[in-house]
Amino acid sequence: MSTDESRIRIVWVYPDLLSTYGDRGNVLILARRAEQRRLPVETMEVRSDQPVPRSADIYLIGGGEDGPQALAAQRLAADGTLRASAESGSVIFAICAGYQLLGHSFFAKGVQCPGLGLLDLHSDRGPTRAVGELAGDIDPRLGLPPLSGFENHGGRTHLGRGVNPLARVTTGVGNDGTTEGAWFGKTLGTYSHGPALARNPALADLLLRWAIGADRLPPLDDTWPDRLRAERRAAVAAPAGRP
Amino acid sequence: MTGRRRSAQAGAGRASGTLAVVPDAKLPLRAKVASQVSRTAAALSRAAGRGDGSVIGGWIGLKIDPDLLKHLATGRQVALVSGTNGKTTTTRLTAAAVGVLGDVATNSFGANMPSGHTSALAKAGATPYAVLEVDEHYLPQVLAATDPRAVALLNLSRDQLDRAKEVAMMAQLWRTTLANHPKVAVVANADDPMVVWAAVASPSVTWFSAGQRWHDDSWVCPECGSHIERAENQWWCTGCPLRRPEPQWVVEDDGVLDPLGHWHKVTLQLPGSVNIGNAATALAVAAQFGVRPIDAVPRLARVTSIAGRYAQVQRDGRIVRLLLAKNPASWLEAFDMAERAPTLLSINARDPDGRDTSWLYDVDFSPLADGRPVLITGDRAYDLAVRLEVNRVPFRHVTSFEDAVAAIPPGRLEVIANYSAFQDIRAELNRVN
């Protein structure tokens, strides 16, 4: 829980290294959806040469290229805060390269690199790059509508017994063509890259609920996100929907 | 002034007779046939209303003679212009500036791959000069084929990342290419760390400073991985000697300071401070050919719209102005150029745009939240709707360009659109140039 109980503290981890595809969107969307419920929020960006602040409510980790990904994993391991915070109940939401580095190991710049081991999974290189729409049915225990996103990654991720798949893939590749993403406790990772929460407002609300320990939040007017989701659903259903 | 001296240097650096252009008659037979077929195909494409005809002709020509571009470039003095943003405009401005010396062949429709270059040179016939816009991925091939006198490097930023090379890889590609062509005079942007890192591989660099609004692709040093600091117009790596070089050509107010310290007022018909920067680049490139800024500046003022960019069109009592914004950096520039007037934003995500709309969150749309009516349209208008809602920019969704025009009172309408959305609207306006 946060040191200042009156605010939800959101920390964007290493945007200087891990922010290739509009990752800032997730920070903006969480903050906006909290503010619309009159929940005070504080957002912070932490650069890779700065210490990661302790006990934030939500940590966000974005996507990135091989080199920055390996460097980020190294610095986060040396920093140690993320692990301690996860153990004390902070929420971690990680995208793509950020998701991979939460596992035991990942493949970057031609070698297998050690990850943070916060999620029981490891990643290697797939036969082809997965680029395109990504959709799937989310683990029913999370009570969310289907995942909708765009993926762009060369890795494949293999889940251990200590994590749950976030979703069963209906379109695209995700982890391996069958499952997509992973979650354990309040740590959740996905290959739905960039501003993943823009197309998944219910997932954004789940992260906020986890952060404040609420079973539900007042509903918002989601007319535009709903239209976007419907339009994307129709696009992936159509035969020409994928490039 | 500098012109005479540079001209002499340039002459010494090249084999004599560079100005003698090889006319079609002197092309090898295969190239001659290819060149002729290329021109015919381009004309057919235009006649069929299929486009500007600036790609198909060159494509066919290169099929017949793979060395056609090289043959067509032989005997011309060539400048190449590359970078993520501003290359079409800078190419047009540079062609206008070099035009002081004589006829210039140029690919002014933004067809910036070898097929487009081939078409442009074939269509132009014999000219002593050529100024070509080059897609950043194709710089190595086009540099090898055209043996240019000068190459201008404008900037590198994220652009259609689901298919393009990422920024650091592109900088590396340029760096390797320039190291292999030490005789080419490089004219490079001192304000972009990625460009500087690529350009310092060349022994011959002239630096220009045109300012840079977009910094989000150059916080990490491409040389050593350390953090890059910025203060005022300076930048420097905190871990190695890479830092902003002292520029010789500098934008100052509404003009350009040349290497001799003379300030030239630049009056353009193109909007925004970003185009003063493009003009500075054009003057710096033209100087490599011996053109004096004082002679080139009046010619820059005659450049109007470019392949529809910045075009103004009357439609039902509205004055519609078209601004192209292809990526986050160019959106920021478009906001700088647009007047505070009703504004239509149009977004597609077709192949030429990149299929991914994530970049919308790399752009801060809040400059539009100043009370002006904002309309949205395009294939991916809903992505934009969600983005604007998060950015607290009020908007109205319309399903066509026609509806947008009908939705605003007579007067100005600013249109900002990404690539294919821009082309759609341009087609509605009868392919305005």
* Torsion, Cα of B323, B82, A69, B359 (10° steps): 10
Query: Is A149's Cβ below 8 Å from some Cβ in B?
Result: no
| Complex prediction ipTM | 0.95
Averaged pLDDT, A145-160: 96
Give, in words, the CATH class of A8-241.
Answer: alpha beta
Q: Which parts of chain B have pLDDT scores under 70?
A: 1-26, 41-55, 109-110, 160-165, 431-433
pLDDT of residue A31 exceeding 80, the answer is yes
- Give A71→chain B minimum CA distance, Å: 9
Nearest to B220 among A29, A68, A198 (CB): A68
Residue A201 predicted with pLDDT over 90: yes
CB contact under 8 A, A231 and B382: yes
Return the DSSP state at B244.
P
Which residue do the tokens 């078209």 mark? Answer: B322
Chain B: residue nearest A225 by CA?
A: B386
Instruction: Show the DSSP H helices in B152-272 as ranges.
Output: 167-179, 193-199
Chain A residues in contact with B399 (beta carbon < 8 A): none
Alpha helices by DSSP H, listed for B53-202, are 56-64, 68-73, 87-98, 114-124, 139-146, 167-179, 193-199
Q: Is A61 helix (H, G, I), strand (E, B) or coil?
A: strand
Cα distance between residue B293 and residue B304, in whole Å: 19
CA distance B415 to chain A (A): 22
Q: CB A32: neighbour CB atoms within 10 A? A: 17
> Cβ–Cβ contacts within 10 Å for residue A207, how many?
24
- Return mean pLDDT, chain A: 93
Give the model's pLDDT for residue B238: 92
Q: How far is residue A67 from each of residues A64, B239, B297, B413, measured CA to CA in Å?
A: 8, 17, 44, 44
pLDDT category at A63 given cuts 50, 70, 90 is: very high
Nearest to A65 among B168, B355, B391 (CB): B168
Helix (H) or strand (E) segment spanning residue A147: strand A147-159
Q: What is the pLDDT of residues A101-123, one digit of tens each?
A: 999 999 998 899 999 999 999 99
Chain A residues with beta carbon closer than 8 angstroms to that of B227: 16, 47-49
A17 at B interface, C-beta within 8 A: yes
In the prediction, which pLDDT does B2 show?
35
Q: How far is CA A14 from CA A23, A68, A76, A143, B327, in A?
A: 11, 10, 9, 30, 23
The amino acid occupying position B281 is T
CB A211 within 8 A of CB A8: yes
Question: For an interface test with A, which of B358, B359, B384 has the most A Cβ atoms less than 10 Å from its Cβ?
Answer: B358
Q: Taking a C-beta distance cutoff of 8 angstroms, is the pair A216, A210 a contact?
A: no
Q: Give me the residues paired with residue B131 across strands.
A: B79, B106
Residue A105: count of CB within 10 angstroms of its CB: 18
Alpha helices in B293-432 (DSSP H): 293-300, 328-337, 381-390, 401-407, 419-428
* A202 vs B: CB within 8 A: no
Contact B359 A22 (CB under 8 A): yes
Domain ranges of chain A: 8-241
How far is B161 from chain A, CA to nearest CA, in Å? Answer: 8
Specify whether the CB–CB gap between A141 and A185 falls below 8 A. no
Q: What is the pLDDT of residue B14?
A: 35
The enclosing H or E element of B45 equals helix B29-47
Which residues are within 8 A (CB) of B205 and not within 5 positions of it... i.e. 6 or more apart? B186, B187, B188, B199, B245
- Tell me which residue of A145, A138, A142 sits closest to A168, measured CA to CA: A138
Asked if B220 and A16 come within 8 Å (Cβ–Cβ), the reply is: yes
**Among the listed residues A116, A71, A77, the one whose alpha carbon sits nearest the alpha carbon of residue B226:** A71
CATH 3.20.20.410 fits B312-428, yes or no: no
* pLDDT at site B41: 67
**Cβ of residue A25 closer than 8 Å to a chain B Cβ:** yes
What does the pLDDT read at residue B66? 76
**What pLDDT, on the 0 to 100 scale, is given for residue B6?**
34
Q: How far apart are CA A39 and CA A119, in angstroms?
A: 29
pLDDT of residue A68: 86
- Specify the long-range contacts of residues B100-103, CB closer than 8 Å, at least 24 apart: B100/B286, B100/B291, B100/B292, B100/B295, B100/B296, B100/B299, B101/B128, B101/B129, B101/B289, B101/B290, B101/B291, B102/B127, B102/B128, B102/B129, B103/B127, B103/B128, B103/B129
The answer, for A76 touching chain B at a CB cutoff of 8 Å, is no
User: In this predicted structure, what is the pLDDT of residue B159?
Assistant: 75
For residue A138 the two structure tokens come to 């989310």
Least confident of A4-13, A88-97, B242-251: A4-13
Q: Do B391 and A28 touch (CB under 8 A)?
A: yes
DSSP element (H, E) containing B228: strand B228-231
Tell me the chain A residues in contact with residue B220 when contact means C-beta distances shorter than 8 Å: 16-17, 68
pLDDT of residue B161: 57
SS3 B179: helix
User: Which residue ranges make up each domain of chain B?
Assistant: 2-13+71-300, 312-428
DSSP B133-149: EE-GGGHHHHHHHH--S
Check CB contact under 8 Å for B358 and A25. Answer: yes
In CATH terms, B2-13+71-300 corresponds, of 3.40.50.720, 3.40.1190.10, 2.60.40.10, 3.50.50.60, to 3.40.1190.10
DSSP state of A198: G
- How many interface pairs between A and B have CB atoms less than 8 angstroms apart? 79
* Residue of chain A minimizing CA distance to B359: A22
